[in-house]
């Protein structure tokens, strides 16, 4: 029997009060590997109460001491690196190398948060008037919560958790119900980091826990990562309840290829951008926009590289692309492919019906490539979140910029060129907040802010980097005169 997961509340693993449970699958085999409880509002209340109780003492713990817990966490993440990567692959399906990369990115967030005694500093000015000094100190905001998506079970929670607790907040994590095991494993490591009970809590579940987080009067800040409609709903609901909110939404990322691009070197990174993690990345290329004479070569090279990808169980050596997350998601992606065909896009490569030897029950799809995709077609407009690449050819850089700017999502975008002028113009006019120049996946490192614009991001302060310190602290101004 697959185990039913428990919540971590106030330092103890406790069964949820849930009456509904969701099967967690290994997407490569279809096997059920755990059951996620769809926890109730009462479960969340208990976690908030524990976090609230832990807050005063944790807030008063010196930042250097809080940082030591994170140094310890970092060490444990390193020691359990392979195990965590294997768990990501087992519950999500991406290849082991992709999982390793995502765990590494998560660890980098912990490393940055270890600098909290410096990064949390305020500032001050002596003699703002005769004998009066003014000092800004940063203080934690209280109980914070984060809601994670399915696609990066190790990395995305670490965009938030280390920064929140390093700054003296207490924390509740709500993993995606589809991939709860990596987050459970990381919570177990955190139990060995000298954190008082209640500083980090884990509540499994779905929509009802999310809504309870948005509404709970004792939660001060909410971080969300997921699809645009849910990001928008969470932003509205939680800000309406008076919280600070950062809600990272979906994406449709345009990758422009100029005729002067170094095609041979660009092809690998472009292929990786579109088909890495089976396209289930918020930074994945979605629409290739070749300019003028770049069209035929860019298409043919991408087709050849996609055909050469070995699709299979991500845990096996030599596999270049794993399955998608679930049978339902595969159906959704297949629906988009059918829509592309019916709306008149030209199929260059059709990944439907792809089977993998010895893995008959996995949720596999081969890479799919469409040419002649207009921006008004469903596949040119919607986020597909699967291994489907669309090509929208244009004649000029201006046209490419117009196509990119017209889309409501603005997470990431890239240009491939050897012209500094074209690259500068593209980066300057990009609506997206993460821009790659000859880079396929423009992922900011942990020291920099991560998040998009327009319908890809709701809020003011982005994830990690200095923004995390702004988000997780309140600036208090103390003006003092001594008689």
Extract the tokens encoding 149: 């998506």
Least separation in angstroms between residue 285's CB and ligand NAD is 13
Minimum distance of ligand NAD from residue 249's CB (angstroms):
6
Question: How far apart are the C-alpha atoms of 130 and 481, rounded to whole Å?
Answer: 9
Question: Are the CB atoms for 139 and 476 separated by under 8 Å?
Answer: yes
Between CA 54 and CA 56 the distance in angstroms is: 6
- Give the shortest CB-159-to-ligand NAD separation in angstroms: 8
Which residues of this chain interact with ligand NAD, rule CB under 6 A? 147-152, 156, 174, 176-177, 206-207, 210-211, 225-227, 230, 233, 248-251, 282, 383, 385, 411, 452, 456
Q: How far apart are CA 408 and CA 452, in angstroms?
A: 11
State both tokens at 409: 């999502």
Angle between helices 181-190 and 81-92 (to 10 degrees): 150
Nearer to ligand NAD, 53 or 466 (CB): 466
C-beta closer to ligand NAD: residue 234 or 294: 234
Give me the least distance between CB of 259 and ligand NAD, in Å please.
30
Q: DSSP string spanning 5-59? A: P-EEETTEEE----S-EEEEE-TTT--EEEEEE---HHHHHHHHHHHHHHHHHHH
Which CA distances in Å does 233 have to 187, 225, 239, 457, 471?
28, 12, 10, 12, 20
Q: Give me the least distance between CB of 184 and ligand NAD, in Å please.
A: 14
Q: Where are the beta strands (DSSP E) in 93-239?
A: 123-129, 132-140, 143-147, 170-174, 200-202, 219-225
Reported in sequence order, the residue ranges of 328-469 that DSSP labels E, i.e. its strands, are 346-349, 368-371, 388-391, 409-410, 412-416, 434-437, 453-454, 457-458
Which C-beta is closer to ligand NAD: that of 68 or that of 232? 232
Position with the least CB separation from ligand NAD: 226
- In the complex, the smallest distance separating the C-beta of residue 204 from ligand NAD, rounded to whole angstroms, is 9
User: Between 91 and 303, whose beta carbon lies closer to ligand NAD?
Assistant: 91
**Alpha-carbon distance 27 to 120, whole Å?**
41
Residue 349 to residue 110: CA distance in whole angstroms: 41
| Known catalytic membership, residue 144 | no
Q: What's the length of the chain?
A: 483
Closest CA to 231 of 282, 304, 166, 287: 282
Cβ distance to ligand NAD smaller for residue 22 or 341? 22
Q: Kindly name the residue from 114, 193, 214, 282 that is annotated as catalytic.
A: 282
Closer CB to ligand NAD, residue 37 or residue 149?
A: 149
Shortest gap between Cβ of 81 and ligand NAD (angstroms)? 21
- Token representation of residue 166: 């390093």
For residues 157 and 393, which CB has a smaller minimum distance to ligand NAD in the complex? 157
Which sequence positions are flagged as catalytic? 282
């Amino acid at each position: 029997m697959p185990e039913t997961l428990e919540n971590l509340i106030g330092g103890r693993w406790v069964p949820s009060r849930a009456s509904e449970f969701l099967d967690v699958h290994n997407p490569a085999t279809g096997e059920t590997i755990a059951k996620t409880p769809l926890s109730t509002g009462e479960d969340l209340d208990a976690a908030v109460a524990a976090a609230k109780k832990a807050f005063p003492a944790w807030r008063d713990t010196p930042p250097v001491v809080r940082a030591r817990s994170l140094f310890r966490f970092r060490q444990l993440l390193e020691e359990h690196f392979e195990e965590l990567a294997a768990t990501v692959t087992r519950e999500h399906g991406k290849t082991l190398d992709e999982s390793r990369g995502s765990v590494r990115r998560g660890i980098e967030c912990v490393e940055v948060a270890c600098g909290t005694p410096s990064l949390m500093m305020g500032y001050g000015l002596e003699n703002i008037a005769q004998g009066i000094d003014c000092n800004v100190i940063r203080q934690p905001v209280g109980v914070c919560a984060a809601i994670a998506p399915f696609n990066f079970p190790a990395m995305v929670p670490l965009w938030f958790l280390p920064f929140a607790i390093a700054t003296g907040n207490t924390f509740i994590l709500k993993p995606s119900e589809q991939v709860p095991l990596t987050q459970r494993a990381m919570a177990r490591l955190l139990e060995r980091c000298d954190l008082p009970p209640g500083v980090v809590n884990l509540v499994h579940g779905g929509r009802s826990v999310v809504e309870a987080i948005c509404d709970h009067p004792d939660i001060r800040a909410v971080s969300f990562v997921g699809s645009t409609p849910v990001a928008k709903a969470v932003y509205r609901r939680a800000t309406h309840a008076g919280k600070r909110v950062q809600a990272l939404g979906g994406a449709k990322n345009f990758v422009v290829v100029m005729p002067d691009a170094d095609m041979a070197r660009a092809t690998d990174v472009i292929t990786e951008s579109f088909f890495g993690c089976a396209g289930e990345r918020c930074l994945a290329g979605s629409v290739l926009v070749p300019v003028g004479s770049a069209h035929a070569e860019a298409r043919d090279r991408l087709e050849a590289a996609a055909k050469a990808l070995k699709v299979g169980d991500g845990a096996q050596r030599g596999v270049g692309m794993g399955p998608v997350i679930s049978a339902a998601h595969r159906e959704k992606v297949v629906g988009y492919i059918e829509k592309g065909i019916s709306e008149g896009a030209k199929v260059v490569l059709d990944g439907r019906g792809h089977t993998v030897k010895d893995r008959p029950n996995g949720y596999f799809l081969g890479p799919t490539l469409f040419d002649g995709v207009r921006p008004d077609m469903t596949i040119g407009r919607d986020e597909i979140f699967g291994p489907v690449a669309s090509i929208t050819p244009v004649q000029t850089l201006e046209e490419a910029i117009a196509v990119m700017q017209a889309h409501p999502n603005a997470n990431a975008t890239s240009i491939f060129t050897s012209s500094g002028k074209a690259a500068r113009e593209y980066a300057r006019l990009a609506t997206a907040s993460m821009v790659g120049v000859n880079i396929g996946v423009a992922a900011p490192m942990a020291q920099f802010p991560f998040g998009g614009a327009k319908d890809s991001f709701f809020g003011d302060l982005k994830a990690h980097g200095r923004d995390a310190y702004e988000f997780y602290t309140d600036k208090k101004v103390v003006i003092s005169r001594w008689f």
